Amino acid sequence: MASKYELTQGTKLSVSKTAATEANSASTVWLDLGGTVTEFSYNGGQKSDIEVTTLASTEQEMTNGLPAPGEITFSGNWVIDDEAQKSLRAAYDNDATHAFKIIFPSGKGYAFMAEVRQNSFSVAKAGVVTASYTLRMKGKLVEI
């Protein structure tokens, strides 16, 4: 059996220029985040526990409750005049929900809605300024 994988080089990452109400609207103006982001990670929201233990139970019993919102973190090179990063910082300041797209080199990917929960930058000697943006998803990932 041959290995299955998805390459990362050439991944396209975009954010809507302004607040949005749909994850993949045809009228959305997209800004490129791919030129500054070096890594991103997605974590689906953890579901809460609902205890269903009864008197007849032999151990504590749980079932899944509602999921918490997922989070995505982008990190990479900090560029103060990059339009996409300006959009992320503005979204943080005004609590606006933006649309995002991730398209892998295969052409498959995801669209989603999110709000920026955190933005930061870091400076160290003999390096480049780095940035990090943590997003709280609104709804689920939509395959595109």
Which domains are assigned to the chain? 12-143 (4.10.410)
Tokens in use for 122? Answer: 């870091």
- Rounded to 5 degrees, φ, ψ at 61 are -115, 140
Cα 73 from Cα 2, distance rounded (Å): 31
Which of the residues in the chain have pLDDT under 70? none
- Rounded to 5 degrees, φ, ψ at 70 are -75, 165
For residue 137, the model assigns a pLDDT of 95
For residue 51, the model assigns a pLDDT of 95
For residue 91, the model assigns a pLDDT of 95
For residue 108, the model assigns a pLDDT of 95
